[in-house]
Structures are given as structure tokens and as C-alpha cells.
């Protein structure tokens, strides 16, 4: 199997495929650097345009964008204390204080090197874990897949932080959208209002573009350009001089990589949670925790390693079980399906060159980060923050409209996307989290279909859902996710008086 990995390598270096990764990384950094624009948004706007491309060109673009955006988010996080993507929130804690001390350039270099290391670790995890795990997936029948979906929904609702009630409402909205269309077993119409266009349900990209791209663009146009960044006084030195200053961070890099990979594999959780966890763990392990929050470069390293380390690993459940754990993985899975790559045990046998090529592209995307995001380029990327907003906003809107129209070639989808955009904008203003909507749509469909299949197999006996170890383990994990935070709070509260 690992021989296939090497066999796929030459194709990755075909110039079109390699150029796709380079362009993807650059585009990703740009998108990530724009506050509000996220990797999810960029990839969902891109997917419809990749239908006609060679698989590795399309997938290389996506892998590049994902890696690039996860680092790009650090640029405004450090310079303006505005996280460019949700995953870069933890980067602001020490990144911005560093910039105020005149060490903004070094902060960005720590960010780019850490991002790259996280991304490389994640790509290796994907290469090494996905092929053997894809064989284990035969153990996952309908009842097990049902529990994976329930576990994913529970994690996104309870672990996302903030308000679980709002998370639950968002997830329910997503699950509701998943029931639209024909019934998965009997084929009856549900909530289609006689529209033939609705019979297949709501295409995930339509929802994603509406929810993730429209509200930030409106925001972008609403808020005037904040502070201009004077990129000449970032205090950057050449990256080869900066790297030796980071040699003490290897433990943080290692820890951040493991946390990021693990969080990525779990369905539901994503980059921002990985970054927070990694930051907290690194601070706890630090000899001088009092410097954290005051401009400790290691804090930037912890956050940026972890938010890149979940990128490729988030694809492990998507490629093996067909269950995407994050919104980005869901869009990427959509891109894979378009190119005829069916997730599951057959994927690595039927299309080894494309799948392994895609994994290599993740690895090279991560390596390219250092080269493209290195000292010189960082200055120019920082200048992007001064781009005129109306120009940017209108370009994105046009791309959104064309992209959504081209999925099925019909205006109906465009109106639907604009409708979701309006809903997303209101939800954003009321502080309802958006990721549970997307995962509700994806996992809700999986949960329903597999619950019903499992019950048919058990001829109506619900005990069929608890009949084997895999199911029981998943149930235990779900319960832990739901009651875990409460218990932790209680414990903390009971310790305080003592």
C-alpha cells in the first residue's frame, strides 16, 4: 500500500499539478489574511469552478488554499489583533503584543514556521493513518455510522465553546435543511413544495457559500478600512536568521501537532479548538507562564502549529468513512466526489494515484508555506490589508454567483444561496455559531439514513443500535462530550472554597 504512495509522487510534480499547489497556497494566504474570509469560504466558492479541471489540479488548489489560509489568518491577528480566520483567535494573544513591541516581523515568522511544521505533521498523519483505517471501515455498518454522526453533532454543539443552547439551535437548523428533498428510503417528497429542483435536497455548497461567504462580504463592505499597516517597520530579518531563534520551541511544536491532528480526526471539532487547546497546554507546560499574553513567541508557535495540524487529519474520517468532520473537509469531500473519488475502503484501491497525490500535495503545500510566506513575502501579504474593500467585496460576490449557478446551471440555486446568506447574516448578528448548521446538514443526513437502515436490519428492534463494541464506544464518547464540560465546571467550583 505504501508503494502506491511513492507511485503517486511523479504525477504530483507535473507542472500543472504543482503550479496548482503554489497558486493555492498564495491564494490561501491572501484569503486567510482578509478578516472574515475563511478557508471554508474560499474552497466552497472555488469547488464549482474545478469541475472541469484535472483531479490533481483541482485538489492541489484546495490543499494549497487550506494550508495557506490557516497561516494567512495570523497576519492580521498579529498586526491588527483581528483574527483573519476563526482559527487564528489564539494567535492574537501573544502575536499582537509582540507587534506592539516592534517584533511583528518575528511573530509572523514564528507563525509561518509553526504553521508549516503543523501542516507537515498533519500530512504525514493522513498518509500513514488513512490507508490502514480505510480497511477498518468495513466494521462500520449503519448503526456505527449513526453513532459517529451523533457523536459529531454532540461535539460541535457542546465543545465549540460559548453557548450550547445557541449551538443546538444552529445544529437543528442544519438538520432541518438535511430533511429537505426526497426521503432517503422511500423517495417521498419532503418540504420540496413541488419544486423538482429541491428533490435532491440542498447541495452543501449552496448552503456553505450562502452562510460563510455572504455575511463576511457584507461586513467587509460595512466596515471602513481600519488602520493602515505600515509594512516597512515590521522589524523583519531574513528567515534563515530567524529560524535559529526558534530552536527551543520543538516541544511546543510536537505537542501542538499532536493536539491538532487528534482534534482534526474527531468529527465536529476544528481548527479554532485545536489552537486554544494547544495554547493552554503549552502555557501550562511553560517555565515562565507569566510572560504569556505579554508577547511570548512560543504562544504564537503553539496556536499556529495546532491550527495547521488539523488540516489534513480532518480528511481522515472523510476519506475513510465518507463522514467529513469539519466544514472545510465537507467541501473538499464534495470536490473529491465530483472527480469520481468515492470515499471508503475502495478509495485507495480504485484511485491510488489521485488520493495519494492529494496527500503529497498537502505535504508540499505545508512546505511551500515557509518559502512563500517567508520574510519578503510576508511584507507584501501584510500590504494586502490595505486593499480597497469595495473592490474586494464585489469580486467575491461575482465569484459566488457564478460558482453557485454553475453547480447545476440554474438560477434557483442562486436565489437559494442568497436566502441562506440572509439567514447567515442574521445568525451572525445574533451571535449564533455557523459551523453547527453545516455539520447539521451533513451529519443530520447521515444520522437519519443510517438510523433507518439499522432499524430495518434489526427489523425494528432498537437494540440493534447497541449490539457491538464499536457502537458502545461511540455512545460512551458522546456521553462524555455532553456531560464532560459540566462535570469539569462543577469540579472547579467545588475546589474553589477549599
Partner 1 sequence: MLTIFKKAAIAGVMTLAAGAALAEGYPEKPIEVIVGYSAGGGTDVMARTTMPFIEKYLGNGASLVVKNVPGASGQIGITEVANAAPDGYTLGTFNLPGMMARTLDREAGYDRDSFTYLANVVNDPNVIVSSKDSGINTMDDLIAAAKENPLAITVGMSSLGGDDHFLLIKLQKMTETEFTIVPFKGSAPARTAVMGGHVAVGIFNVSEVAKFAGELNILGVAQPERSEFAPDAPTFREQGLDLINGSLRGVVAPAGLPDDIAAKLRDAFEKAAQDPEFVKAMADTANPVAVVTGQEFRELTDSLYDLAKEAWETTPWN
Is 459 one of the binding residues for partner 1 (CB under 8 A)?
A: yes
Work out how close the CB of 384 gets to partner 1 at its nearest, in angstroms, rounded to a whole number. Answer: 36
Residue span 40-69 as binding mask against partner 1, x where in contact by CB under 8 A, dash where not? -----------x------------------
Is 197 one of the binding residues for partner 1 (CB under 8 A)?
A: yes
The residue range among 11-19, 37-45, 88-96, 451-459 that interacts with partner 1, by the rule CB under 8 A, is 451-459
Q: Which of 284, 409, 431, 492 binds partner 1 (CB under 8 A)?
A: 409
Decide whether 382 or 417 has the Cβ nearer to partner 1: 417
Count of positions on this chain that bind partner 1 (CB under 8 A):
34
CA distance 97 to 300: 11
- Write down the H helix ranges in 160-222: 164-179, 204-208, 214-222
Is 251 one of the binding residues for partner 1 (CB under 8 A)?
A: no
Nearest-10 Cα torsion for 23, 91, 303, 57: -10
CA distance 74 to 32: 8
Is 408 one of the binding residues for partner 1 (CB under 8 A)?
A: yes
CA distance 16 to 22: 10
Work out how close the CB of 138 gets to partner 1 at its nearest, in angstroms, rounded to a whole number. Answer: 4
Is 189 one of the binding residues for partner 1 (CB under 8 A)?
A: yes
Lookup: cell for 398: 461575482
Decide whether 188 or 494 has the Cβ nearer to partner 1: 188
Hey, which residues between 296 and 315 contact partner 1 (CB under 8 A)? none
Is the separation of the CB atoms in 362 and 312 below 8 Å? yes
Decide whether 109 or 143 has the Cβ nearer to partner 1: 143
The residue range among 94-102, 136-144, 294-302, 489-497 that interacts with partner 1, by the rule CB under 8 A, is 136-144
Decide whether 82 or 332 has the Cβ nearer to partner 1: 332
Is the separation of the CB atoms in 55 and 342 below 8 Å? no
Q: Which helix (H) or strand (E) holds 181?
A: strand 181-182
Hey, which residues between 316 and 355 contact partner 1 (CB under 8 A)? 322, 338-340, 342, 344-346
> Nearest 5°: CA angle at 93, between 92 and 97?
85
Hey, which residues between 137 and 176 contact partner 1 (CB under 8 A)? 137-142
The burial of 121, by beta-carbon neighbours within 10 Å (0-12 exposed, 13-18 middle, 19 or more buried), is given as buried
The burial of 94, by beta-carbon neighbours within 10 Å (0-12 exposed, 13-18 middle, 19 or more buried), is given as buried
Q: Which helix (H) or strand (E) holds 375?
A: helix 375-383
Per DSSP, what are the bridge partners of residue 182? 189
Decide whether 322 or 440 has the Cβ nearer to partner 1: 322
Decide whether 253 or 358 has the Cβ nearer to partner 1: 358
Per DSSP, what are the bridge partners of residue 239? none
Work out how close the CB of 409 gets to partner 1 at its nearest, in angstroms, rounded to a whole number. Answer: 8
CA distance 185 to 450: 10
Is 496 one of the binding residues for partner 1 (CB under 8 A)?
A: no
Would you give the DSSP letter of residue 86? G
Is 185 one of the binding residues for partner 1 (CB under 8 A)?
A: yes
Work out how close the CB of 406 gets to partner 1 at its nearest, in angstroms, rounded to a whole number. Answer: 11
Residue ranges that bind partner 1, judged by CB under 8 A? 51, 137-142, 182-189, 196-197, 199-200, 322, 338-340, 342, 344-346, 408-409, 449, 453, 456-457, 459
Amino acid at each position: 500500500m505504501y508503494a502506491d504512495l511513492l507511485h503517486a509522487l511523479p504525477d504530483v510534480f507535473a507542472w500543472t499539478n504543482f503550479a496548482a499547489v503554489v497558486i493555492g497556497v498564495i491564494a490561501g494566504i491572501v484569503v486567510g489574511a482578509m478578516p472574515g474570509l475563511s478557508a471554508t469560504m474560499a474552497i466552497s466558492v472555488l469547488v464549482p469552478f474545478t469541475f472541469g479541471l484535472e483531479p490533481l489540479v483541482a485538489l492541489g488548489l484546495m490543499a494549497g488554499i487550506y494550508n495557506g489560509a490557516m497561516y494567512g489568518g495570523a497576519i492580521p491577528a498579529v498586526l491588527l489583533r483581528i483574527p483573519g480566520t476563526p482559527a487564528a483567535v489564539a494567535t492574537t494573544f501573544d502575536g499582537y503584543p509582540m507587534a506592539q513591541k516592534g517584533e511583528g516581523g518575528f511573530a509572523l515568522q514564528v507563525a509561518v514556521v509553526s504553521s508549516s511544521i503543523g501542516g507537515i505533521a498533519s500530512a504525514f498523519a493522513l498518509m500513514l493513518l488513512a490507508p490502514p483505517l480505510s480497511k477498518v471501515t468495513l466494521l462500520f455498518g449503519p448503526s456505527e455510522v449513526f453513532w459517529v454522526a451523533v457523536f459529531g453533532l454532540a461535539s460541535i454543539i457542546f465543545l465549540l465553546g460559548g453557548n450550547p443552547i445557541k449551538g443546538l439551535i444552529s445544529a437543528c437548523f442544519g438538520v432541518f435543511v438535511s430533511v429537505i428533498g426526497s426521503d432517503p428510503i422511500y423517495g417521498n417528497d419532503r418540504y420540496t413544495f413541488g419544486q423538482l429542483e429541491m428533490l435532491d435536497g440542498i447541495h452543501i455548497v449552496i448552503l456553505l457559500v450562502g452562510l460563510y461567504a455572504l455575511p463576511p462580504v457584507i461586513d467587509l463592505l460595512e466596515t471602513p478600512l481600519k488602520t493602515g499597516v505600515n509594512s516597512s517597520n515590521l522589524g523583519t530579518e531574513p528567515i534563515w536568521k530567524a529560524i535559529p531563534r526558534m530552536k527551543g520551541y520543538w516541544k511546543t511544536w510536537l505537542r501542538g501537532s499532536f493536539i491538532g491532528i487528534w482534534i482534526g480526526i474527531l468529527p465536529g471539532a476544528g481548527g479554532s479548538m485545536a489552537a486554544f487547546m494547544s495554547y493552554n497546554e503549552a502555557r501550562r507546560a511553560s517555565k515562565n507562564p507569566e510572560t504569556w499574553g505579554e508577547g511570548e513567541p512560543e504562544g504564537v508557535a503553539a496556536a499556529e502549529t495546532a491550527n495547521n495540524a488539523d488540516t489534513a487529519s480532518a480528511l481522515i474520517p472523510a476519506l475513510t468513512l465518507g463522514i467529513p468532520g469539519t466544514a472545510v473537509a465537507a467541501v473538499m469531500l464534495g470536490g473529491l466526489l465530483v472527480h469520481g473519488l468515492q470515499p471508503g475502503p475502495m478509495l485507495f484501491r480504485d484511485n491510488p494515484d489521485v488520493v495519494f497525490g492529494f496527500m503529497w500535495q498537502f505535504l508540499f503545500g505545508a512546505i511551500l508555506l515557509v518559502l512563500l510566506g517567508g520574510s519578503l513575502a510576508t511584507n507584501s501579504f501584510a500590504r494586502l490589508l490595505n486593499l480597497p474593500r469595495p473592490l474586494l467585496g464585489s469580486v467575491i460576490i461575482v465569484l459566488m454567483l457564478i460558482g453557485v449557478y454553475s453547480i447545476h446551471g440554474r438560477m434557483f440555486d442562486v436565489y437559494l444561496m442568497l436566502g441562506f446568506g440572509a439567514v447567515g447574516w442574521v445568525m451572525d448578528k445574533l451571535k449564533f455559531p455557523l459551523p453547527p448548521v453545516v455539520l447539521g446538514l451533513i451529519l443530520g443526513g447521515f444520522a437519519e439514513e443510517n438510523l433507518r437502515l439499522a432499524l430495518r436490519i434489526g427489523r425494528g428492534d432498537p437494540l440493534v443500535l447497541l449490539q457491538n463494541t464499536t457502537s458502545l464506544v461511540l455512545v460512551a464518547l458522546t456521553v462524555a462530550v455532553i456531560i464532560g464540560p459540566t462535570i469539569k465546571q462543577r469540579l472547579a467550583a467545588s475546589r474553589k472554597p477549599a
